[in-house]
Amino acid sequence: MATDEQQFDDGLLQKQRVPRESPIAARPKAHLPDAVLSTLGIFIVLAAWVGITSSGLIRPGYFPGPLELYRELVLLLKDGYKDSSLWGHIGISLYRTMIGFMLGVLVGVPLGLVTGVSRVSGGMISPIMAFLRPIPPIAFIPMAVLYFGLGEAGKIVLIFWTSFNYVYVNAQAGAAHVPIAYLRAARSLGLTQGQLFFHVVLPSAIPQIFTGLKVAMALSWAVVVAAELTGAQSGLGYMIEDAALIFRIPVVFIGIMIIGAIGLCLNTALNFAEARFVHWKGR
């Protein structure tokens, strides 16, 4: 059995073995701001782009440089493309996207919430959605052309289906996975079913709904471009396809970059709305 003196010596040795943290290591590490990192990443991409285009490794006309794209963009802003201004092509694509997206949200969110809280409706609708969900929206383009023609209706229906699909599944998941502790606490307070839905289920599902909105918006914007590649006479997808056919490669690159820039703006707008309306998320 160890004596008190031995125990004291052992504790003293253990304290001596613990390495002390140096004052330099204890200081918080300095991190570059996100804006600086983003600017650095863009600069690296531009430098690599200029280096590739000026090296002669790629045949002229196949991969235009930044200066060539800038000149082509100025011409598009001034003269437009095929009897329509550049803003007109952007506007019609945004119009189709927002109409289909809003219709999908108006139908998908309520239906998802209902099937999330109701076992009967969930059991009836969930297998159907599970069957249809893996089918890519682009696969429905021939059917949309067949049933709705080459007009606006077919394109809006495709975007509606894309938006509805992803908004529904996230709303349903948000309503179905409300923490049981919240429900028990609400019932113990005597809340009715309506009060339970609006004060517990809906607030708990809103973060998941916003996740679905962001995914649905991104995919809706992608689908409208794919829909415009077939049978459209306006829009960014039409501009890209037509420019590729006549080998106006700078116009193709400009169209692709505009699509990416608008998609980024739409996602930023939804992130801003989420920060305003779901201010409790992550707290």
Residue ranges covered by each domain of the chain: 73-277
- In this structure, CATH architecture of domain 73-277: Orthogonal Bundle (1.10)
Q: Are 116 and 175 in contact (CB under 8 A)?
A: yes
Residue from 181, 184, 178 nearest 206 by CA: 178
120 or 4: whose pLDDT is higher? 120
Query: What is the mean pLDDT of the segment spanning 248-258?
Result: 91
- The residue type at 216: A
pLDDT score for 12? 47
Residue 264 has pLDDT above 50, yes or no: yes
Residue 1 has pLDDT above 50, yes or no: no
Tokens of 231: 């049978």
Residue 13 has pLDDT above 60, yes or no: no
pLDDT tens, residue by residue, 75-126: 999 988 888 899 999 999 999 999 999 999 999 999 999 998 888 888 888 8
Q: Which pLDDT band, with edges at 50, 70 and 90, does 44 fall under?
A: confident
Query: What is the mean pLDDT of the segment spanning 256-267?
Result: 91
Q: Which pLDDT band, with edges at 50, 70 and 90, does 262 fall under?
A: very high
Going by C-beta distance under 8 Å and a sequence separation of 6 or more, which residues neighbour residue 36? none
Residue 51 has pLDDT above 70, yes or no: yes
Least confident of 26-35, 126-135, 177-186: 26-35
Going by C-beta distance under 8 Å and a sequence separation of 6 or more, which residues neighbour residue 215? 166, 170
211 or 49: whose pLDDT is higher? 211
pLDDT score for 109? 93
Rounded (10°) CA dihedral 45, 46, 47, 53: 110
Going by C-beta distance under 8 Å and a sequence separation of 6 or more, which residues neighbour residue 212? 108, 112, 166, 167, 168, 169, 170, 171
Distance separating alpha carbons of residues 95 and 138, to the nearest angstrom: 19
Distance separating alpha carbons of residues 218 and 170, to the nearest angstrom: 15
182 or 71: whose pLDDT is higher? 71
pLDDT tens, residue by residue, 181-230: 878 888 888 778 888 888 888 888 888 899 999 999 999 998 888 888 77
